[in-house]
Structure 1
Amino acid sequence: MNSMRRLSTPLIAAFFVAASAWWTGANAQNHSQSEVVRTDQVQATLLAHAPQGVPVGLAPEAVAGQPLWVGLQITHAPQWHTYWKNAGDSGMPTELQWTLPPGVMAGDIAWPVPRKIPIGHLANYGYEGTVLLPVPLIVTPEFKPGVMADALDVKLKATWLVCRQECIPQEGEFALKIPLRSSTALHGAAFDAALKAQPIAVEGAHQVTLKDGGKRLSVRVAGLPARVRGQPLDLFPETPNVIVTAATLAPPGQPLGERDWRQQWDGDVWTADIPVSPDRAESPERMPLVLVAGGQGWRADAPVTGTWPVINPVAVVSPALEAALKANAGAAAPVLPAGTTAVPAATFALALLGALIGGLVLNLMPCVFPVLAIKVLGFTQHADDRRAHRTSGLAYTAGVVLSFLALGALMLALRAAGQQLGWGFQLQSPAVVAALTVLFTVIGLNLAGVFEFGHFLPSGLATLEARNPVANSFLTGMLAVAVASPCTAPFMGASLGLAVGLPAVQALLIFAAIGFGMALPYLAASWWPAVARLLPRPGAWMDTFKKFMAFPMFGTAVWLLWVLGQQTGIDGAGALLALLVTLALVLWALGLSGRARIVIATISIAIGAFLATTLGPNVIKTVEPAALAAEAPDARWQPWSAARVQTVLGAGQPVFVDFTAAWCVTCQYNKKTTLAHPEVLAALDAAKVQTLRADWTRRDAAITAELTRLGRSGVPVYVLQAPGQPPLVLSEILSVADVLGALKQLSLSR
């Protein structure tokens, strides 16, 4: 009994110190870098293509034969677009800034052919749908990866302008690891398609001639393929601010106006007569031109003959774009939590009450049960000691409240620094999940009697519990918060969503109210003598009860191992499982006596060190989620994106969104019961509702932003929305009646 309590002080304290240090360092280094950045308008993904691996230590001629590409893939929401290298009248091209190891260089963007996008009296050159902007990486002999290095680190800061009728400048930071010794060809088809969309260089006697005093250009391009001769071609000059981008193609024989242009074939030579823009900002000596037919492009680099008229200096940004940017300055801001705003006193009081009740209900969440076992053991131990009982209750309350305050302050600080985080963010880290798995495994082994700390710890540390019972209760409260915080109880969701937009003092008061509500039952029990008299007297039965309590700990470790598997894949979960077995062997061996302890412990520690070195990196290395990505197009639950929601609503179909996470026990319970109930599924089908699932198991800025927009900061969250109506947020503890009632309300309003 005492050994289990002694366990809590050194082990839990070490866990929280390590977890806090890891989170601080990770956020300082990564600054929200990932492979995917999502906004309401686009999804931008950093991809790599290295079918023969990274060419390391090869001669230059050998390196040239091994393709190594990276690229930014942008998927646009319907009616939105980004821009080509020459954006046209009112855009800006996408810019990529690479951070690469010494000896690795990035080439230029291999721009796919664009399309002309008319906007009123203007025209832009850009991309809709999905486009990949490939960039070659050049690995020189100066690239010297370390002996233990297994990947090429690629970092990218990208900026793009996405427009519909309004324009929103956006940016994202991306990080990607390309394995050095294995093939990376998952996105080969996307790169092949993008590279095939490159314009093909055309050799020939090309010419651009100024005429009409520099007001028009006469263009001649020779050498185009015979199969396109006689066909009309689309023209895209690479040099911006020279021609009238929105010029109208005039029919043959019709006189040309100031904004008209004409094209025709002179045998095998394509010719055009194009108006020069009155706002011309360039006087090029050569004009690279891209001609497109049927999605295929050809590039002709033509010299310019004649003298350009003198031009007046103009702004770098066109007047049309400048007006659009000013009109959308608010939308241009990065997606951040709501600003700190004052709320009425009555609203704040209700938020505090909701937080208090939510904290109380947290004690009923399955994820908290294992820690309650520790408190039950503590209560039975002090059943006859009223003073110790009260002291334990106060210390436990302090540990819970201060831990909620610390987590709340950390979340608010990181969000203020630009991190897209929500409540439960710590379990989005594989390192924290692995550390908690180890912690609960060790607690379970201790309760089961596999080892006793007093057998191998210094006597001063082994008797720490006897001298510091307050510290044990305090740290037990910290552990309770560590596993309880990912659960969002009823009444808590709205309070947490409000907290992230309040001034710091008011926000922290809400977090404190949640902690006080969670600790209140134990505080009351510790000060209420009637409760103590109901507890059984200490005796031999407690040893059996103690060993029985090991199984909830092992069950929690299994759940955390499953969560880790969602983040790092089967390799990560298997690696941690092997390390846990080795850890159990080490703890058992250290409890032996005599020569066997020295021999077995030495061997087991050596095995553990070897496995930690070889398998350890797999435990914290995240992998691309595949479960939802591999769903069939007609699967019931499709992966969520803001663009998909708008597409479905635009088609006149309602949407039901399940915001969930593997580490959220409430989410999993609702998923297996209410959301899988035949009556619910039949009602969703009858109402023709498209069901989407937003998986927040890992950090996802787009999901965090959407939760913030809905006034929530944690999961579960369930949203039903019909076209033209505001979203309806359902209860966190979801019942069949809740869903059926919401669907009935939906049908009445349609």
Structure 2
Amino acid sequence: MTGTHFQGNGRAILAAFWIGALGLFLLALSAAFHPASAQIPGAPQNVRATVEAETAVPAPGDTVTIAIIMDPKPGWHDYWLNPGDAGTPLELEWTLPEGVTPGPIRAPVPETLVVSGFMNHIYKAKHAFLVDLQIAPKRQPGKKLDIKVNARWSACSDLVCVPESGSFTIPLTVGDGTITVEQRTRFDQWRAALPVPLDRQASYAINGSAISIAIPFPEGAAADKVWFFPQTQNVFRYAAPQTARRTGNWLILTGGVDKAFDGQIDGLLRFGDGQGIELRAVPGSVPSGGEVVSVLGADSATPPSGNPTSFALILALSILGGLLLNLMPCVFPILGLKAIAIAKAGGDERTARRDAWAYTAGILLSCLALGAIMLGLRAAGQEVGWAFQLQDPFIVFVLLLLMVAVTANLVGLFEIGGIGAGDRLTRQGGAAGSFWTGVLAAVVATPCTGPFMAAAIGAALLLPAAQALLIFAGLGLGLALPFLAIAYIPALRARMPRPGPWMVTFRKWMALPMALTALALVWLLGQLVGGAGWVLGAIAAAAMLLGIIIIKRQQAPVSLILGLGSTLMIMGFLALDRLPNSAVTQPSVAELGGEAFSEEKLAQLRKGGKPVFLYFTADWCVTCKVNEAAAIDRDETKKAFEKAAIVTMVGDYTRRDPVITRFLAKHGRSGVPLYLYYPPQGEAKILPQILSVSDLTGLAN
């Protein structure tokens, strides 16, 4: 073998760590170039927010109540002040003139929702959060008050969550404090939904993992469907069952705690049909005995809206989705690389198992990193989905340089133990080579969304971070399962081809799909940033390839290739950062092959009784392009659609589009492709992710 090899497993692992860290840094750097943006004005929201003032003419020294009115769409919800195990509450950022002071957010009595064993404190119906603004006594009548508030909240269904936001201006003028009868009635209704403050203090005691709260509660008052919502966070186990018992004028509620605690606990006791009282509990004595009046599990605290999906099922779906991802076109080039490694093992069990686990580690770490960054970006307010990194020109540029280097490696221009698949991979180099093959598999696979993946990734966006990352790890495990099976099942391994001269030829042939992938990334760069992207990508690819050839001919250290790639990467980042935003233009309807997607246009077509075939695609989605070539853009399909008057509508997700992200989320998807058929009457039908001509022509019948 020519070139330089890393010596020993330790150096290979160390190199993998540092290069992986560099990759994570580049992804974070890319996110920094694209700060979180606010809600697009006029964009449809799953939880629609509006703001009203009880009076537009508050008097000096008065308090004016502001209502932030939230109206969830059917199947969607937002969150209480303490969201529970998942979700985020309403956050307000005020811009106020001098002499105006905001009070705390007052929230109505919430409901409970359990998803995958996690408790959420939510609102499914229209409701209002109230905030009192205190007007200074010295404000002059007739003075205009420019009140502005930026609001952020989470809108969630049972499977997915999307961040939403809004900026509102509340025009007020200092006046006489007049409130119309209509406004007074409206705000009184909002106030009626608020919990009533308890006039006495409650007490609590913790015994191991159980907490009992003694709440002053008249003996004659009805107490059914009792549930305590703690506003103090990180104390209660939200999903633990709660038991209520009566003893005299006390209501004793017992639940679960996560840890010892001796401070005050604020919370809300809900009972009956949505009634609630606010209370504060301090450490103290709790009466014993009494009659049990209520025993509620987390899933029975509120009548369930549907059967909650178990976490085990979601995890199983993610593993199955990753397994089926191996059949997607986007993974084919990497399967060829792995085939080389399997053949080199020559049936040796120990080598096969070592390489299979190294390959699995590469996939798992990559999926976890992508999942963590995706969750972080969504938490920061960005509406991103699966394969979000291929909507970013900076990351596409890095992948382009990587694919050029891999192509050069496969044709034999250079060898690096631990990265390349050399002619005689040593034991030390083989494991590292398999690791990086796994990394490539995960990166290249992300443009695809296979069967069962949609539900799993959609659910991951709702779960707490630790559980969500397990879903992404399950996806990676499924992707690696075929090669783990080969490593541990002798009958499968025996059917693998043995090493021989054919491998040299096969390896060079595998450079072809990698080169085509590099060309596709050049084209995608142009789609993302305009014609300048094509020029920049082509120059960078040519410079990378030419530099590798020069390094080989001069017999210079192969480590210079890493320096060459880093230099080109920095220069490319600087060039991309200076490209004007105007370089990006939306594709025309003709280019998309049908009506450009818009929810308003879709609603008009459905109202008019028109059948609609709606699909979402992206230039970086290999599965999308295969389906378009094999089924959608075929004469048979077009003729059948014309005959049946089926309107084709296309959503282009090549560039990040919050409107499409939200629409995908409503259908349990976090990425493309998504194919929907709307008949003249009835609900939408989700079509398979691998389409055939018969699938589409059958719609016309």
TM-score bracket for the superposition, by shorter chain length = 0.5 to 0.7
1:666 aligns with 2:627: no
Residue equivalent to 2:124: none
Residue equivalent to 2:606: 649
Residue equivalent to 1:581: 542
1:484 aligns with 2:454: no
1:429 aligns with 2:383: no
Q: Is the alpha carbon distance of 1:679 and 1:542 closer, same or farther for their aligned partners in structure 2, counting shifts above 3 Å?
A: closer
Report deviation, 1:429.
1.2
1:39 aligns with 2:2: no
Report deviation, 1:355.
2.7
Partners of 2:193 and 2:405 in 1: CA distance: 55
**Alignment match of 2:576 (pick from 585, 595, 618):** 618
SS in 2 for 1:674: helix
Is this contact kept in 2: 1:638–1:693, CA < 8 A?
yes
1:700 aligns with 2:657: yes
Residue equivalent to 2:276: none
1:207-253 deviation line (CA, Å, top 9, x unaligned): xxxxxxxxxxxxxxxxxxxxxxxxxxxxxxxx988xxxxxxxxxxxx
1:75-129 deviation line (CA, Å, top 9, x unaligned): xx9xx9999xxx99x999xxx999xxxxxxxxxxxxxxxxxxxxxxxxxxxxxxx
Residue equivalent to 2:460: 499
Residue equivalent to 1:368: 331
- The percent identity for this pair of structures is 35
SS in 1 for 2:451: coil
Question: Pairwise mapping of residues 491-640 of structure 1 onto structure 2 (< 5 A)?
Answer: 491-593=452-554, 613=571, 617-618=575-576, 621=579, 623=581, 629-631=587-589, 637-640=594-597
Residue equivalent to 2:357: 394
1:500-532 deviation line (CA, Å, top 9, x unaligned): 223445433433332222111111112233344
Partners of 1:328 and 1:691 in 2: CA distance: 46
Q: Is the alpha carbon distance of 1:2 and 1:613 closer, same or farther for their aligned partners in structure 2, counting shifts above 3 Å?
A: closer
Report deviation, 1:713.
1.2
The one-letter amino acid paired with 1:530 is A
TM-score, with length taken from structure 1: 0.55
Q: Is the alpha carbon distance of 1:3 and 1:553 closer, same or farther for their aligned partners in structure 2, counting shifts above 3 Å?
A: farther
Residue equivalent to 2:668: 711
Q: How many residues align?
A: 487
The one-letter amino acid paired with 1:713 is S
SS in 1 for 2:631: coil
Report deviation, 1:704.
0.9
SS in 2 for 1:590: helix
Report deviation, 1:557.
0.8
The one-letter amino acid paired with 2:377 is L
Aligned CA RMSD, in angstroms, stands at 5.0
Q: Is the alpha carbon distance of 1:466 and 1:518 closer, same or farther for their aligned partners in structure 2, counting shifts above 3 Å?
A: same
Q: Is the alpha carbon distance of 1:543 and 1:644 closer, same or farther for their aligned partners in structure 2, counting shifts above 3 Å?
A: same
1:405 aligns with 2:409: no
Is this contact kept in 2: 1:40–1:643, CA < 8 A?
no
Report deviation, 1:365.
1.6
SS in 1 for 2:595: strand
The one-letter amino acid paired with 1:396 is Y
SS in 2 for 1:656: strand
Partners of 2:189 and 2:22 in 1: CA distance: 48
Partners of 1:610 and 1:527 in 2: CA distance: 42
Partners of 1:468 and 1:324 in 2: CA distance: 71
Question: Pairwise mapping of residues 435-474 of structure 1 onto structure 2 (< 5 A)?
Answer: 435-453=398-416, 466-467=427-428, 469-474=430-435
SS in 2 for 1:719: strand
Report deviation, 1:555.
1.3
SS in 1 for 2:632: coil
Q: Is the alpha carbon distance of 1:687 and 1:13 closer, same or farther for their aligned partners in structure 2, counting shifts above 3 Å?
A: farther
Question: Pairwise mapping of residues 130-141 of structure 1 onto structure 2 (< 5 A)?
Answer: none
Question: Pairwise mapping of residues 136-215 of structure 1 onto structure 2 (< 5 A)?
Answer: 171=165
Question: Pairwise mapping of residues 670-685 of structure 1 onto structure 2 (< 5 A)?
Answer: 670-685=627-642
SS in 2 for 1:683: helix
**Alignment match of 1:24 (pick from 17, 23, 28):** 28
Is this contact kept in 1: 2:30–2:392, CA < 8 A?
no
1:536-555 deviation line (CA, Å, top 9, x unaligned): 44344433332222222111
Residue equivalent to 1:202: none
SS in 2 for 1:591: helix
Report deviation, 1:620.
8.3
Report deviation, 1:452.
3.8
Partners of 1:626 and 1:320 in 2: CA distance: 50
The one-letter amino acid paired with 1:730 is L
Residue equivalent to 1:166: none
Is this contact kept in 2: 1:447–1:549, CA < 8 A?
yes
Report deviation, 1:606.
10
Q: Which moved more, 1:700-709 or 1:367-376?
A: 367-376
The one-letter amino acid paired with 1:23 is L
The one-letter amino acid paired with 1:556 is T
Partners of 1:403 and 1:606 in 2: CA distance: 24
Q: Which moved more, 1:654-663 or 1:25-34?
A: 25-34
1:305-326 deviation line (CA, Å, top 9, x unaligned): xxxxxx34659x9658868999
Report deviation, 1:657.
1.6
Which runs of no fewer than 5 residues in structure 2 stay unpaired?
Answer: 58-64, 68-92, 96-147, 153-162, 195-238, 240-297, 300-305
TM-score, with length taken from structure 2: 0.58
Rg (Cα) greater in structure: 1
Is this contact kept in 1: 2:383–2:658, CA < 8 A?
yes
The one-letter amino acid paired with 1:473 is S
Residue equivalent to 2:690: 733
SS in 1 for 2:44: coil
Which runs of no fewer than 5 residues in structure 1 stay unpaired?
Answer: 43-76, 99-156, 162-168, 174-238, 242-280, 284-310, 330-339, 745-750
Q: Which moved more, 1:542-551 or 1:696-705?
A: 542-551
Is this contact kept in 2: 1:654–1:723, CA < 8 A?
yes
The one-letter amino acid paired with 1:551 is L
